[in-house]
Structure formats: C-alpha cells, structure tokens
C-alpha cells in the first residue's frame, strides 16, 4: 500500500475519502486530508465557514451521508458521540444505506460497547469499522500533529493508517475494535481530572489569598507541569478563550460515558464520579458551551471568589 493509494487488481487508485463532522477538530483534519492528496467529499454542515474553506481547497460536498458514502471508499467521522455516530451510519439516509463496501473510521469519542455492536452489525454488509479517537487540540488538528488511538481488525487498521497519518503525529494501535474508544475514555478521565483538580486548587488558593499567578509560577516548569496544564494556564493567565477549545458539555458527556463503562465492568470509580459531577454542574448551570479551562472561573464563583485580576483574583 502506498501513502496515497491502494492496489485493487492490476491498477493503483487513490482512496476517495468522505468526512463527516467538520467542526473544531474536524475542519483541520479534513484540511490535511485534502491537502495531502486524497480526493475528499464533506457533508453539508450548519456552519458553512469550514465547508466553504474545504471546498476552496478542492473538496466536494454531499447533501447526506448516503450520498457521501456513494462517493467514497473510506469515511471519517468526527461527531459528538455514539448517538450521532449511529444516526450517521444507520439512519434512513445513512452510510449503510448506500449498500456498498466501506471502511468507516470513527474519530469521535464514543461508547466502546456501542462501537463493538456497530462493528458487528456492519461487517455482514461489507463495512469495516475502526475506532480512532483523538487527543490534543484543534490547533494540533490543523497542524497535523494529533495523537490517535486506533482499534480494529489489523487489515482495516493498516488501510486506515495512511489517512490517520495525514492529521496524526503519533498513532498508537490499541487492539481490537472498541479498544481505541476505551483508551480515549481513560485519557479523557485523566485530562478532565486534571482540569477539575486545577480548578479546585485555584479556588482554595484564591480563598487563602494566593493568586493564579503564584499558582502558575509553582506549577509551570515544575514536576506537576504537562502540556495539558500549559493550554489550561494559557486561559488562566493570558485569558485566551481559545487556548483549549473543548467544551464543558463534551467533557461532561465523556465522563458520563466513563461512568457507564466502569459500571458495566463492575469497577468502583469514586474519583471519576467526582470529576463527572464538576462538569455536570457546569453544564446544569448553563455553561455547557464554555471551554474546559473556564471551569476554574465557575468553581471560584460557586465558592464566592474570583480568579480574575481586579475581582479578588490578582
């Protein structure tokens, strides 16, 4: 297999790629796919800016998933979660309705049980399914340096890999189908756990008279520093709203998936419950579309203080 094609019989042809979900992450991913030589079809999206940009780079547009599947050999999904994935694949005008062989690469953060059921249901239809969730930020998606966790049949993973390499800087094979989404939930548990910890620690500090600048001076470049903290502190210190564009609603959804997964395994996860509740409260109070680092402001507000300079947080 070449980077930009696969052999079918006597000739080598480019894989035609479909992409559904050109949002914060998907826009950059799709941009890399089309710019690195793959024919690309994208699905019409409620926010036209990303679609129009991709069309200007050479992509084509489909009006529904079935039409997109008819124009594609491989379809990449980057949607919110399992309900959206199932609707896109199995809906009346879904991918499966095209009635043709496909490889579906699900880069969404989905429930592992749903992923395994979907893969089993699609296999008799000639549709292979690979779960390839992502880590890092929309900036990394744009630059083609995402981390990708990929689970699936080895042959399907091998076929998916050239596509994943267009937007992934590090690709980790996790095992059978569903294991990529399992690892993604664990990864997000750790990262959202950090966000909840930072937020509470900052609030305790603010109540005790320690400013976010002091907190940052100790954590940055210390043993507890990490790339996740660096994007978090870019909002905390620089007030860059777009430093980490992952919504509190998505964080709450992922932690809810983790809770259900742990329950199904019979695993007690009290820390996971606490992390989930931090994000669930943020969503319940109307802040679901704010980004993860903004949880720090909310926790401070709930406790009668502020992390903002001039409002008790200097």
Give the pLDDT band (50/70/90) at residue 311: low
- Give alpha helix (H) positions in 71-153: 82-90, 112-122, 138-143
Question: With bands split at pLDDT 50, 70 and 90, how would you rate the model's confidence at 11?
Answer: very low
CA nearest to 198, candidates 293, 87, 59: 293
Question: 21: Cβ–Cβ under 8 A, 6 or more apart, which residues?
Answer: 43, 77, 78, 79, 107, 108
- pLDDT tens readout for residues 250-269: 999 999 999 999 999 999 99
User: At 313, is the pLDDT very low, low, confident or very high (cuts 50, 70, 90)?
Assistant: low
- Regarding pTM above 0.85, the answer is yes
CB neighbourhood size of 37 (10 A)? 14
144-184, pLDDT tens digit by residue? Answer: 999 999 999 999 999 999 999 999 999 999 999 999 999 99
Cα separations in angstroms, 252 against 109, 140, 198: 12, 22, 17
CB 101 within 8 A of CB 122: no
Reported as a single tens digit per residue, the pLDDT across 50-76 is: 999 999 999 999 999 999 999 999 999
């Amino acid at each position: 297999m070449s980077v930009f094609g696969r052999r079918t019989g006597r000739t080598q042809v480019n894989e035609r790629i479909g992409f559904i979900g050109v949002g914060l992450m998907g826009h950059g991913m799709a941009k890399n796919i089309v710019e690195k030589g793959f024919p690309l079809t994208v699905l019409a999206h409620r926010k036209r800016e990303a679609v129009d940009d991709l069309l200007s780079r050479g992509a084509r547009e489909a009006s529904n998933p079935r039409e997109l599947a008819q124009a594609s050999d491989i379809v990449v999904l980057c949607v919110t979660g399992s309900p959206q994935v199932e609707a896109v694949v199995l809906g009346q005008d879904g991918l499966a309705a095209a009635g043709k062989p496909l490889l579906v690469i699900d880069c969404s953060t989905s429930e592992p049980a749903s992923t395994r059921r979907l893969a089993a249901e699609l296999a008799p239809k000639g549709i292979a399914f690979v779960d390839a969730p992502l880590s890092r930020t929309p900036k990394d998606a744009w630059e083609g340096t995402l981390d990708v966790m990929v689970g699936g049949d080895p042959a399907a993973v091998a076929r998916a890999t050239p596509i994943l390499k267009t937007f992934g800087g590090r690709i980790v094979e996790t095992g059978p189908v569903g294991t990529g989404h399992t690892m993604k939930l664990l990864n997000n548990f750790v990262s959202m756990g950090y966000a909840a910890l930072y937020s509470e620690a900052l609030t305790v500090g603010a109540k005790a008279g320690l400013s976010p600048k002091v907190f940052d001076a100790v954590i940055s470049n210390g043993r507890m520093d990490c790339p996740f903290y660096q994007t978090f502190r870019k909002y905390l210190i620089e007030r860059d709203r777009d430093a980490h564009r992952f919504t509190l609603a998505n964080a709450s959804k992922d932690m809810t998936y983790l809770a259900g997964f742990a329950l199904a395994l019979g695993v007690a996860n009290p820390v996971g419950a606490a992390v989930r509740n931090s994000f669930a409260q943020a969503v319940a109070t109307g802040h679901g579309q704010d980004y993860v680092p903004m949880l720090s402001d909310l926790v401070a507000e709930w406790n009668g203080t502020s992390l903002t300079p001039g409002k008790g947080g200097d």
